[in-house]
Chains A and B, each alone.
Chain A
Amino acid sequence: MSWQYLIWFALCAVAFWLSGAVVAFRSRRSWVATSLSLCGSIVFLSFIVGMWLSLERPPMRTMGETRLWYTFFLSLAGVAVYSRWRYKWILSFSTMMSVVFICINLFKPEIHNKSLMPALQSVWFVPHVIVYMFAYAMMGAVTLFALYLWLRRPARRPTGEEMGVCDNLVRIGWSFLSLGMIMGALWAKQAWGDFWTWDPKETWAAATWLSYLLYMHLRPRLREDYHLAFALIVFSFILLQMCWYGINFLPSAQGASVHTY
């Protein structure tokens, strides 16, 4: 398997995801939309597995490789949320975001170096990255939904059910952020002897984690003020972007992070 096959797998996966998104709106039988979307995720996963086998290491090292996982988990998060709460729009959202990330990978392909530095050869490497990518996908989904509720025309107050969706997605995403962060700490102790070193990546991960935690603590008091709730979701997602790839461009983090790919 090589990078050049991505477009064919992506086309096939996107066809399944689009069909699932359309069926979610048109059909009352939710299992049809769920199955179609899952088929798309399986097709995309087979490309990732193929890359894994050909690279002889987990494809999680470069930004392009993490985007593959993000795309996969975004689609899977969409299916999970749709199956659990029957939100018809979520499959369209997850498909749209998956397409965006596939396009980035198609137009900005990266060299897939087979080398995996010794520090990355840990039992924590795969779960740490996968859990974080799933958390990012959930937070991406809730940010889009919050923006939709906030900016829709004609403007109207979000219902309790709609805010409940935001709360649930943040809660699930935050639980995965916590898992990813703790796995990273346990791994760091094994590799470098410190659980936490305030490396720029870790600092921004802490800021993101705290910001979503603030949302969860503020929400009970923000039953009326949905503007602040939405603003906090969007702000937290900006912090997440800083943690994911923003530090690569941040002057204060240049040459100071061990999290360089």
Chain B
Amino acid sequence: MSSSWGYGRAFYRCLLLFAVGVVLQLCVGDVNNSFLQYPWGLILAVNYLYILVLLHTMRKKWRWVEQLSDTYASTSSLASMVVMTIIFGLTRQEPSTEGLVGLLGFSRMTSSWPFNLLLLYFTTTIGLSVIDDLHHWRHRRLAAMMSHIATFVILVCGIFGSADKLRVTVNTHLERPVVEGTDGRGISRTLPFAITLKEFKMDEYPPKLYILDTKNESSSKDFLSVESLPAEAEIDGWHLRVEQMIDMAGRMPDATDWREMIHTGAAPAVYLTACNKVSGEQYSGWVSCGSHIFEPSYLFLGERFAVAMPRRDAKRYLSRVEVEHMDGQREKFNVEVNHPARIGAWRIYQVGYDTARGRWSTTSVLECVRDGWYSAVHIALWLMLAAGVVMFVTAGGRSLARKSKAKIADVKSKSK
């Protein structure tokens, strides 16, 4: 068979799948993956693997099966995934069904029939390649085999486990146990445990001072970070010098001065002098970002400019929570960004807080995620990581073209 016909046939197959996908999209709408919920996703995944093994054993009898696992099939399915991913990247993802892209499902790509059919075909070609690799183990193809296996496991878990992930957003308040949250569709979900927020802690970066242009409603690109005293900088022709800084300050309703106040709602405040480098104008006064209790303070530099302090950036924030299981057993966890708490198949993530109150927030937004396919994907990702290392170490040997000749010779010798 000539290679041009081989490619032609393989690409026609992709085109046919795309056309079938478009027809299905127009007739039945988006792919509804709810039928893949446990245990059906797992049952279908096992059956899919069984069918792949069956196809592999039957490949000599049925020509079309053999054609599914040849180089043309893998290359064409890969090329079709490149095209679909580029369309994915160029299309804004939103629930809209308007226009041609909306009608074809491209604006909801992960739920569109053309994308899912081509993804399943791509997964199938990799799966058949993996079975062939395992059947005919070749040491020199170790990196390729490892990455094939890892990609296949990731894709199978991604497809058949797509309906099993549950994300529940929980708004917790200090000392109030919560057992319910809402999922991504706004449906109320009950958790198998109760969460009580015991403490919310936040570290912040030092306050920053910017020059505001009230006429253009813009702020300076440069800023003065007040980490220690004395702090000074030149910003947009103004020399700023901070003379006093209070980390926790407050201001009485009629007062202009800020003073130390160790109390809920306290805000950072600085006393500074600003001097114009050209005109010599000089202004002094207090500047603060304020809080949910205190109004912010600005230092006006004439009619147009002002020195302002935006709310401080969060450095880290964590929630100390107590989890009570159904059997009455209690556990304490610190939940922080990048450090989720793990409770069986569930993980609790720190998502947010009351931004109006900042460090004084008494609420914490947590997200409880249940992912039954986590372990399989996790192992596959580490295998992929190892495959990348093996590929780097073994790169620089024979060229891809020479490798192909060797592979062909390999196949010929096997067939003899």
B407 located at the interface, meaning its Cβ lies under 8 Å from any Cβ of chain A in the complex: yes
The reply to whether A190 and B82 form a contact with Cβ atoms under 8 Å apart is no
Q: Closest Cβ of chain A: how far from B403's Cβ, in Å?
A: 6
A191 touching B388 in the complex, CB below 8 Å, given contacts A164-B399, A220-B407:
no
Chain B residues engaging chain A, CB cutoff 8 angstroms: 3, 71, 74-75, 78-79, 81-82, 85-86, 88-93, 109-110, 143, 147, 158, 165, 167, 205, 221-223, 225, 313-317, 336-340, 347, 349, 367, 369, 371, 374, 377-378, 381-382, 384-385, 387-389, 391-392, 395-396, 398-404, 407
The reply to whether A119 and B90 form a contact with Cβ atoms under 8 Å apart is no
The reply to whether A168 and B399 form a contact with Cβ atoms under 8 Å apart is yes
A256 located at the interface, meaning its Cβ lies under 8 Å from any Cβ of chain B in the complex: yes
Partner of B317, one of A118, A122, A239: A118
Q: Closest Cβ of chain A: how far from B148's Cβ, in Å?
A: 11
The reply to whether B337 and A119 form a contact with Cβ atoms under 8 Å apart is yes
- Please, could you name 17 A-B residue pairs with CB atoms under 8 Å apart, sorted by A? A116-B315, A121-B338, A167-B399, A167-B400, A172-B392, A174-B391, A178-B147, A191-B338, A195-B377, A198-B109, A200-B89, A207-B85, A217-B75, A219-B400, A220-B403, A250-B89, A253-B92
Q: Which of A64-72, A92-100, A208-216 contacts B (4 or more CB under 8 A)?
A: A208-216
When C-beta atoms are compared, the residue in chain B nearest to A199 turns out to be B93
Residues of A contacting B407 in the complex (Cβ-Cβ under 8 angstroms): 220
Residues of A contacting B378 in the complex (Cβ-Cβ under 8 angstroms): 186, 189
The reply to whether B110 and A198 form a contact with Cβ atoms under 8 Å apart is yes
Could you tell me which residues of chain A, from 1 to 18, have a CB within 8 Å of some CB in chain B?
A: none
Could you tell me which residues of chain A, from 221 to 261, have a CB within 8 Å of some CB in chain B?
A: 221-223, 239, 242, 247, 250-253, 256
The reply to whether B338 and A118 form a contact with Cβ atoms under 8 Å apart is yes
Residues of A contacting B388 in the complex (Cβ-Cβ under 8 angstroms): 175-176, 178-179, 182
A193 located at the interface, meaning its Cβ lies under 8 Å from any Cβ of chain B in the complex: yes
Chain A-chain B contacts (Cβ-Cβ < 8 Å), number: 161
A163 located at the interface, meaning its Cβ lies under 8 Å from any Cβ of chain B in the complex: yes
Expressed in whole angstroms, the Cα–Cα distance for A200 and B90 within the complex equals 9
A176 touching B392 in the complex, CB below 8 Å, given contacts A115-B205, A121-B316, A252-B89:
yes
Could you tell me which residues of chain A, from 92 to 141, have a CB within 8 Å of some CB in chain B?
A: 111, 114-119, 121-122
The reply to whether B401 and A223 form a contact with Cβ atoms under 8 Å apart is yes
Expressed in whole angstroms, the Cα–Cα distance for A174 and B401 within the complex equals 17
Q: Closest Cβ of chain A: how far from B137's Cβ, in Å?
A: 20
When C-beta atoms are compared, the residue in chain B nearest to A81 turns out to be B396
User: What are the interface flags for A54-86 relative to B under an 8 Å C-beta threshold, 1 for contact and 0 otherwise?
Assistant: 000000000000000000000000000000110
The reply to whether A168 and B91 form a contact with Cβ atoms under 8 Å apart is no
The reply to whether A172 and B82 form a contact with Cβ atoms under 8 Å apart is no
Expressed in whole angstroms, the Cα–Cα distance for A76 and B408 within the complex equals 36
Expressed in whole angstroms, the Cα–Cα distance for A71 and B314 within the complex equals 31
Residues of A contacting B382 in the complex (Cβ-Cβ under 8 angstroms): 182
Residues of B contacting A183 in the complex (Cβ-Cβ under 8 angstroms): 385
A206 located at the interface, meaning its Cβ lies under 8 Å from any Cβ of chain B in the complex: yes
Residues of B contacting A256 in the complex (Cβ-Cβ under 8 angstroms): 92-93
The reply to whether A175 and B158 form a contact with Cβ atoms under 8 Å apart is no
Q: Closest Cβ of chain A: how far from B283's Cβ, in Å?
A: 24
A196 located at the interface, meaning its Cβ lies under 8 Å from any Cβ of chain B in the complex: yes
